[in-house]
Amino acid sequence: MGSRGPTFVKICGITRLKDARAAVRAGANAVGFVFAKSPRRISPLKASLLAGRLHPSLRKVGVFVDPDIDELFRIVEQVGLDGVQLQGTETPAFLEAIRSRGSSLFLAKVVRATSKKAVESVRDFDVDAIFVDTKDPAQPEAESQRVEVSWLNGLSDVPLVVAGGLDATNVAQVVKEVRPWGVDVSGGVETSPGKKDAAKVQAFVRAVREAEVAVS
């Protein structure tokens, strides 16, 4: 798949300032704050305190599952989010409603990658990025598994972000084989849910950048 400049790298499930700063030092493009039910869930108040101490160049993305649109925008404003990532059963119409109210927001939709046919639904959404992940949002305690790479063939025109089951040992293969617009990691750089390991974050981003050079 064709690359669109440097691979977008997001470190998700941030709950501590030192972890967000580790993402910045590593060269990540974005961090994710989870506001849905999850072992990595963070309150809007705490997220706002963290976000306010981060460099403005770092994109701050809120992760939601089937949110109430008014509540979503309340959190966007309170935290100062640059984007939202929707992981539930949100419809194209719901996404359009968000776009009409927050046109400057980075808008992403997660498609659950359970089969090649399921992955093909990425074309149903007019968003800035489509995340493909195996995780069932109804089971927030479960860890994601890797997406079957062959299911992503033929989607070079879609701004895909591959998520789930990634770490520093396997992300280079994904970057080389899929050439995605971006990659997203959470559990693969943690010591426990919500607690990142700075060395693992550094190694993950480095693996992405080295893989980019190899395929450029």
Catalytic residues: 12, 133
Instruction: Please enumerate in sequence order all residues whose Cβ is within 8 A of that of 120, keeping only pairs 6 or more positions apart, or say none.
Output: none
The DSSP secondary-structure symbol of 41 reads: B
Alpha-helical regions (H) of the chain = 17-26, 44-51, 69-79, 92-101, 116-119, 171-178, 198-215
Pair 137, 85: CB distance under 8 Å = no
CA distance 9 to 33: 14
